[in-house]
Amino acid sequence: MPRQEERPKLTRPLLLCLALLSLSLTPALSDTVDKLQDQVQAMDKDVTVLKEVSNARLDAQEKRIADLGLSTAQHANHLAAISNQGAQVANYVAWTSVGITFIFFAAGLVTYFSAVRRAKEEARQAAEAWLSEAGKRLHAELAELQEQGKTFRAELQGLQQQLTQESEQTIAHAARIREDLSARASLVLASGTDPEGATNAEKAQAVAEVQAADEALRSVPENTFTHEQHFMRGVAYFSKQDFRSALDSFRAARKQLAEATETLPSARYLLAEAGTLKALGRDDEAIAAYGQIDTSFGTDPTPAIRELVALALVNKGNRLLALNRGDEAIAVYEQVDIRFGSDPSATLRKQVAGALNAKGFAYLLLAKQSTAASARRSSLLESAIVTLERGLALDAQGSRVMLLGNLGYARFLAGQTDQARHHTRSCLVEGGAESYEAQLADAQQHRLEPEDSQYETMLKALWAELHDIAKAKLRNGGSAA
């Protein structure tokens, strides 16, 4: 296309040059020039035509180029649309991939859970099969065990009956031991310098038993003690002369028992508390405690309670007598005689005998404090002799030795020497050295001369005589009794 435009541009100048050249040439050449001009004009026409054709072609070519540009733009738009569609397809493919992935994941889960369910089902079936088989075996074993159980049950019932019998016997035995210990503990607490006190052998035995019981309590925490254990611990303290600790234990026993309906332990614990107050020298409190026992339990018809009330009254009289309140003491002893003198209980007869012994001794001491040879002194000694003889008539073994000793002493002061020697000798024979020491101690109270010195002389002579007799019997191979 550019070469075709350049050709006409170069031809015209050439033609001009040739024309000029022809003018200078000869006329011969004019024909040639004319021909050439005609040729030039023909060529111009051809050039014009060629130019028009070229322009037409150029226009067509430009239109074609424009059409090509439009087509290209359309193709570009189409390509853009295709690109957009491609992006959408890509997005669709991406989401489709996600969906497919999710579908595969879900399918995997479904497959997993299906496998789990299938495994569970298989396991369940296997377990049911095992359990069925095991159940059959267990059923057979159970039937066998039931048969054995019937045999064991029969044997167990036999053992239970045997154990029940043995347990009842043990409980009864333990109750008897506990009652015996409590009775002996009361005996310990009622003893000492009181006229109704127990013998040294009885006290020693009671103390040994109480201490053994206290040893058994050492493995028991004190904050878990029952009222009985508090009481036994108190008796153990008392036997060791730790009276303050004993008092605390007895009060703890009473406090723990306060809401119970058991009257016997309550009376016993109050008696122990009163005896401990006496041991602490708190006589007024002890007398009040003894009186409280009578006030609280005096009307109770229970034999054991009546025995404790009688003992409490005797001890109350003894405290009054120790404080030189003889008349008050005698009044208390008379109450014991009036209220319990006709009771068939052997224990109460012993308590009444103890009260009569103490009452007779109270008359004897009052007589020693009276003016010599006065009517009152004679009357008091006579009352002492009558009271002591009445006590002997009760045949209470626990008080017999003391009754004999006091009766012999009263008769000696009353001038009844032969009878005094008889009763005093019987006292020394039955009571031994313990009674001998007790009679010497009685002669020291409210000393009366020359009567007490003369009584001591008789007492020592009788004691020496008994020793000589005992030695002679031993030499002859006889009994020393």
Domains of the chain, residue spans: 2-102, 191-323, 341-481
Percent of the chain with pLDDT over 70: 62
Indicate if 341-481 has the same CATH topology as 191-323.
yes
Whether residue 227 contacts residue 265, with contact meaning beta carbons closer than 8 Å, is answered with yes
Dump pLDDT digits (tens) for 3-58: 444 444 555 555 555 555 555 555 555 666 567 667 767 666 766 766 676 676 66
Work out the pLDDT band at 287, boundaries 50, 70, 90.
very high
pLDDT of residue 118: 75
**Is the Cα torsion angle 56, 58, 63, 67 positive or negative in sign?**
positive
Q: Which two tokens stand for residue 145?
A: 């065990």
Whether residue 358 contacts residue 314, with contact meaning beta carbons closer than 8 Å, is answered with yes
Average pLDDT for residues 209-236, to the nearest whole number?
81
On the 0-12 / 13-18 / 19+ scale of CB atoms within 10 A, 301 is exposed
Average pLDDT for residues 75-90, to the nearest whole number?
62
Q: Rounded CA gap, 183 and 200, in Å?
A: 16
Amino acid 380 reads: L
Work out the pLDDT band at 192, boundaries 50, 70, 90.
very low
Dump pLDDT digits (tens) for 411-445: 999 999 999 999 999 999 999 999 999 999 999 99
Please, which residues have CB within 8 angstroms of residue 30's CB and are 6 or more apart in sequence?
Answer: 22
Q: Rounded CA gap, 437 and 433, in Å?
A: 6
Work out the pLDDT band at 223, boundaries 50, 70, 90.
confident
Average pLDDT for residues 236-242, to the nearest whole number?
88
Q: Which two tokens stand for residue 225?
A: 């003690």
CATH topology of domain 341-481: 1.25.40
pLDDT of residue 163: 44
Q: What is the 3-class SS of the chain, one letter each residue? A: CHHHHHHHHHHHHHHHHHHHHHHHCCCHHHHHHHHHHHHHHHHHHHHHHHHHHHHHHHHHHHHHHHHHHHHHHHHHHHHHHHHHHHHHHHHHHHHHHHHHHHHHHHHHHHHHHHHHHHHHHHHHHHHHHHHHHHHHHHHHHHHHHHHHHHHHHHHHHHHHHHHHHHHHHHHHHHHHHHHHHHHHHHHHHHCCCCCCCCCHHHHHHHHHHHHHHHHHHCCCCHHHCCHHHHHHHHHHHHHCCCHHHHHHHHHHHHHHCCCCCCHHHHHHHHHHHHHHHHHCCCHHHHHHHHHHHHHHHCCCCCHHHHHHHHHHHHHHHHHHHHCCCHHHHHHHHHHHHHHHCCCCCHHHHHHHHHHHHHHHHHHHHHHHCCCCCCHHHHHHHHHHHHHHHHHHHCCCHHHHHHHHHHHHHHHHHCCCHHHHHHHHHHHHHHHHHHHHHHHHHHCCCCCCCCHHHHHHHHHHHHHHHHHHHHHHHHHCCCCCC
Q: Rounded CA gap, 161 and 291, in Å?
A: 48
Say whether domain 191-323 belongs to CATH 2.40.50.140. Answer: no
